[in-house]
Structure 1
Amino acid sequence: MPKVERLTDLMFEVSNEDRLRILLRLEEGGMSVTGVSRDLGLTTQEASRHLSRLNDVGLTRKDADGSHHVTPYGRLIIKQIQGVRFASEHVGYFSSHALEGLPLEFVYRMGELTGSTYVDDLMFSIHCTEKVFREAEEFVWATSDQYPMSVIPLHRETFARGVKVRYIDAVDWRPPHHWVEEITEEDSEAINRARRKGQLEERVLERLQVYLWMNEKSVGMLAFPTTRGRFDYLGFHSTDEEPLKWCRDLYTHFWERAKPKTEYVLVKDE
């Protein structure tokens, strides 16, 4: 069979909603035709027909006892489908936001974000960012082209808990003038003290490709730039392990390529 024909046959089979549901259900464990029928609300004849087609393209196999299982090939295809599934569930977002700045490795791993929740409310996005500080016990990692003023006072208690903070800024980032004027002496001292102790580390990149706030327990907010190259601070929130790992790996990728910050303009001079 020609390679293109094999691909189109595969895509045809998994494009059917019921067959895709069966494939995802079997990933959790083997089942009989009757079990599939009962669990997914299909007739026995429908379940049998769909299982036969999945078996024909190598996605599932049937044991001697009549139970059906996902093959290793089927599991590989499911992993690939997850990214497409995630993108299709958020077609509106990804039609207006660009991923060109992401390394291909992370584009290929987009399916790992399936356990995240889309946030389309700016105030809730800021709330999620604040929670990153309030709930952190080990670290806070952030890369942002702007910082909500409301997170500045949260630094003191975060540092007091022994939490380590990392920031990646754009190389030309400067805070609004009123920030420098409004920051309290206590907050200024806490930030400068954390810098001296190495509890606060800051690096810079020529251009930021993501807006990301996270701690060891949650992704407060992950957002991508719009097609106009700016952030609207709307994106995805999660406490699931797979999105957490994806974001940890992505942040580490950018951190390792960023340069140490040498100019500090966020706080008042000591």
Structure 2
Amino acid sequence: MEDAASVFEDSEKTFIELSNSQRLQIINALKTSSMNLTLIAKHLGITMQEAHRNFNRLMEAGIVSKDSSGSYSLTTFGNTIMTQIPSINFLSKNKNYFSDHYFADLPMKFVQRIGSLDNSEYIQGFVAVMEEIKEMYRYSEEYIYGMIPQVPLDLMEVAAKIVKERKIKFNYILPKNAAVPKKGKDFLNEINFPELLKNGLVERKMIEEVKVSVVLNEKKALVMFPNIKGETDMNGAFSNSFHKENNGLFHEWCLDYFRYNWLNSKPFDNTKLREV
């Protein structure tokens, strides 16, 4: 039987090789195409000696291989390791945030894909988050999906207007005992909300509780995590950026998470809502 130390021996060696910014840059540069020593040194702005030394270490670790023409490329092991780096990067950049926030009951399959949120932008402040959601609503052309712990009246008004005018799909999930504004009922009557439900433009479901929240349309998405009290912190959110390469992965993560909860939610029950 292996002792506790030997279980992590191979992982320790791998982490040692990854604990160098130049080697990480080399791995990142090789994820799209192979390169020779001269090209990688020029690409990273390092000396040939530095590049050679780091390549030797990466080859010894089994992360990089060299062909007969002198070009270096990632091995299967190296490629797979590369897919894990965004998760470490996202958590490392946001370690202060996650010192008082957590993943709550987020299924492990989504935790394992948390690197999809790397390169996201952090929106700070309740007002800024609400404005981001409203903007998302306004630019929606196909659908709006949302799972949040409460329904501010101004969000309700913007969403309803867009759905009625553009005839786009609006699916939302609320937790039992969700806080809804008293004026919300009057507003829903004004816009003939039952007709939107009847026509299928609006669909809604209910879940026991919402801790990790998501809001998205066909292009943009944002996610909010709970604080250590287990309450969704709507004072800050991570949002995807159209200008960064993993925009699609971020959106896909949020969409998959919403669909997962939609499939596991129950029929909507108005009597469970709490007016405030």
Aligned to 2:226: 225
1:71 to partner: Cα distance: 1.2
Aligned to 1:258: 265
1:28 to partner: Cα distance: 2.1
Distance 1:211 1:15 in 2: 33
* Residue in structure 2 matching 1:148, options 149, 152, 164: 152
Give yes or no for the alignment of 1:164 onto 2:169: yes
1:157 to partner: Cα distance: 2.8
Aligned to 1:212: 214
Q: Secondary structure at the match of 1:140?
A: strand
Q: Secondary structure at the match of 1:152?
A: helix
Give yes or no for the alignment of 1:132 onto 2:136: yes
Aligned to 2:3: none
Alignment TM-score, normalising by the size of structure 2: 0.89
Q: Secondary structure at the match of 2:59?
A: helix
Q: Is the 8 A contact 1:115 1:242 kept in 2?
A: no
Distance 2:269 2:95 in 1: 40
Distance 1:65 1:148 in 2: 62
Aligned to 1:28: 32
Distance 2:126 2:107 in 1: 27
Q: Is the 8 A contact 1:175 1:265 kept in 2?
A: no
* Residue in structure 2 matching 1:103, options 84, 102, 107: 107
Q: Is the 8 A contact 1:142 1:212 kept in 2?
A: yes
Gaps (5+ residues) in structure 1?
A: none
Aligned to 1:243: 250
Aligned to 1:114: 118
| Cα-to-partner distance string for 1:68-102 (whole Å, 9 max, x where unaligned) | 11111111111122111111011111111110310
1:159 to partner: Cα distance: 2.9
Change (3 A) 1:27 1:72: same
Query: Percent identity among equivalent residues?
Result: 28
Q: Which amino acid aligns with 1:214?
A: L
Change (3 A) 1:263 1:96: same
1:185 to partner: Cα distance: 5.2
Q: Is the 8 A contact 1:174 1:265 kept in 2?
A: no
Q: Secondary structure at the match of 2:8?
A: helix
| Cα-to-partner distance string for 1:91-127 (whole Å, 9 max, x where unaligned) | 1111111103100000000011113211123222111
Q: Which amino acid aligns with 2:31?
A: E
Give yes or no for the alignment of 1:87 onto 2:87: no
Q: Count residues in correspondence.
A: 261
Distance 1:3 1:84 in 2: 21
Gaps (5+ residues) in structure 2?
A: 1-5
Q: Is the 8 A contact 1:60 1:70 kept in 2?
A: yes
Query: Which contiguous aligned blocks of 4+ residues in structure 1 show a shift greater than 4 angstroms?
Result: none
